[in-house]
Structure 1
Amino acid sequence: MIKTKSNLLLAFIAVIALSGCGSSGGSAPETSVPANSASNSASSPSSIASPTSAGAAYPVSVENCGRTLTFDSAPEGVVSLWQAPTEMMLALGLDDRITAVAGNYAAFPDSIAEAAEALPVIGTSMSWPSKEVLLSEAPDLVVGQSLEGFAFDTSQGYASVEQIEEGGAQVYGSNLCSSADALNMTLETPYRTLRDFGTIFGVSDRAEEFIAQMAAKKQTVVDAVKGLPTQRVAFYNGGDGPLIVLAGGIYDDAIATAGGKNVFPADSVYVSKEDFAASDADVILVGTFEGQDFANLSDYITTNFPDLPAVKDGRLVEIPVADTDASISVMRGLTEIANGIHPDLDLAVPAS
């Protein structure tokens, strides 16, 4: 039987915990770039010039999670409680505005790894800073992903959105407002956050340039897979009964854009061995976090599901799950998925 989830964010955090692979320090482990990665610096986040808010017209306002946030000037002390908005701020050259971050859950993309390494860390990969620690930073802006629970769960000793606002800071929900919104996330979800950061910090030109780069990378994949036969795809992420699968939201959008169809329903997280065996998947994407070994995961699949078309044809493909996060590397993940679904495609994978 397929077990379902109420949201993807909960599943994402649960998967990280099960994998035991989160990084708790402020340094970003090195990541390797495949030999066929694009090397054109013009399409790399590092090509974005250092921003300045000089000349920006304040006050400015953005609509976020049913609230209007108004800024009389660009925030100078930001605490980021989730890696995706941290990455987006760094990609826009806003590292000097970030005073602290919660622990990262994956290696940062190469283009921003050096800047990320210098950021003060006040949490761990699976634990956010306590209310006292967060408020002691005296931020003027706190950025999270999902404004309900998780980093704002008072039962875990974290500060609520209301408590942070009472302390004088504004709170911005990046990518989604509640965990239930995760099922509606798409490849273009980061665009909204990038645009809002552009408005808030007076760097809209940089934000639009970066969005245009992301959109161009997506279009490259769309054009490449046009007319190719749709493949049945399973996105496996560990477990041996039940098995963890990635489905719905941004995962389904990436698979569909890359010319595939997820074999499991959008609200699936855990599936039985029987359901996995009956999936008839043509391709199995093997999602890995840091600390997960692709060889071990693929050996489990090939040993236990020898009759699946994907296993018979040797079509098991490693996909770093961090590349499918709603952040600056999501089009890299899309390209990796497209190459995995269509082995003759061989698209150049964008640099991270």
Structure 2
Amino acid sequence: MRFPVSWRVTAPLSVLLALLGGCAATGDDKPATTASAAAGPVALTNCGTPVTITKPPARAVTMNQSATEIMLALGLQDRMAGTAYLDDRVLPEYAAAYAKVPVLAGEYPSKEKLLEVAPDFVYASFATAFGDEGVGDRAGWQKLGVDTYVSAAGCSKNTRPAKLTMDDVFAEIRDIAAIFGVGERAETLIADQRARIAKVSAGVKGEKVLWWDAGNDAPSVGACCGGPAMIMSAAGVTNTFAELAGSWADTSWETVVERNPDVIVLVDASWDSAAAKRAFLEQHAALRDLPAVKDKRYVVLDFSSTSAGVRNVLAVEALARGVGGVGS
């Protein structure tokens, strides 16, 4: 993806001065794993971009579901000047905190809109947030003294993990906690999620799972290396299409029939609902006779549970229980 070399916006002088006042220095490439507001700068390399935070941000803006929910899970709503772009409703346990944060736009805000709230940190789940259809490239924000962060899972192809794991999600939570000086909150959250995953995956026997994301003619399925594969691995099941490259990949229904999955994950999204997927399977001449379809062995997961973040554990729990793990 090409980003503009630079960009200019017209904004009130007071806003620009506020932004320039928070200018951060360039740091080394050691990942941050601990946090303390008094411990000095936090230096890390994020998606190939060196980032040094000289002090915990006070006016952060989040874009995308996972970034927003990680901030709320760490109790950082009081440090948020705004948020944007949800795919689903915020988890119920964070709803009250989320209600206190200004929503800047339904999708990505304009650069001008973002400048209006004078952010000192912009955190997104996907690199596209800083693309031509987003708020402008990271280098432009750095020139204004605004630090940025992108989820490792959402980095460009050459800088994201070769195969996403829950440890990558936990590393992101630790990074954000370090940046805001709340490291102990991250460790509490991570310990709880690790324990929940270990408990629910006990008894899972590697059942074959088809992760159906979208598409009727050529189904897009969970492939080897992204969020779906990470969730399936954590749940202890076998990914039916683990040999396909990428996070998602297209296959054929003939291949699905040949592989005969034990359980089918139906991703529920506003543009392609789980109910529509289920109806398609049960009316298709070849698919309706699959044991998983005849026995209605479905696990419905929200689209947002695929993005690296705090709700991945909910997807792991639902999937493990759906195949007969502890607590099913």
Q: TM-score normalised to the size of structure 1? A: 0.74
Task: Check if 1:210 corresponds to 2:186.
Answer: no
Look up the match of 2:209: 233
Deviation at 1:238, TM superposition (A): 3.6
Look up the match of 2:18: none
Deviation at 1:194, TM superposition (A): 1.4
What RMSD, in angstroms, separates the aligned Cα atoms of the two structures?
2.5
SS at match of 1:105: coil
Deviation at 1:110, TM superposition (A): 1.3
Greater relative contact order, per chain length (Cα 8 Å cut-off, separation 6+): 1
Q: 1: distance between equivalents of 2:184 and 2:36? A: 13
Task: Check if 1:123 corresponds to 2:111.
Answer: no
What amino acid sits opposite 1:106 in the alignment?
A: D
SS at match of 1:278: helix
Look up the match of 2:223: 247
Task: Check if 1:82 corresponds to 2:82.
Answer: no
Structure 2's unaligned 5+ residue stretches are 2-34
Q: Residue 267 of structure 2 contacts residue 273 of structure 2 at CA under 8 Å; is this kept in 1? A: no
Deviation at 1:290, TM superposition (A): 4.6
Q: 2: distance between equivalents of 1:301 and 1:85? A: 34
Q: TM-score normalised to the size of structure 2? A: 0.79
Task: Check if 1:165 corresponds to 2:132.
Answer: no
Q: 1: distance between equivalents of 2:297 and 2:322? A: 8
Q: 308, 312, 315: which is aligned to 1:333?
A: 315
Deviation at 1:182, TM superposition (A): 6.5
Matches within 5 A, 1:150-229: 150-154=128-132, 156=133, 158-176=135-153, 178-180=155-157, 181=160, 184-225=163-204, 228=205
CA deviations 1:236-269 (Å, max 9, x no partner) are 2343212232333221132233232122224343
Q: 1: distance between equivalents of 2:209 and 2:41? A: 48
Structure 1's unaligned 5+ residue stretches are 1-5, 7-52
Structure-2 change in CA distance of 1:321 and 1:72 (3 Å): same
Q: Residue 319 of structure 1 contacts residue 333 of structure 1 at CA under 8 Å; is this kept in 2? A: yes
What amino acid sits opposite 1:247 in the alignment?
A: A
Deviation at 1:67, TM superposition (A): 3.9
What amino acid sits opposite 1:256 in the alignment?
A: S
SS at match of 1:335: helix
Figure out how many residues of one structure are paired with residues of the other and give that number: 287
Deviation at 1:183, TM superposition (A): 5.6
Percent sequence identity over aligned pairs = 30
Structure-2 change in CA distance of 1:336 and 1:325 (3 Å): same
Q: 2: distance between equivalents of 1:104 and 1:314? A: 30
Deviation at 1:318, TM superposition (A): 1.8
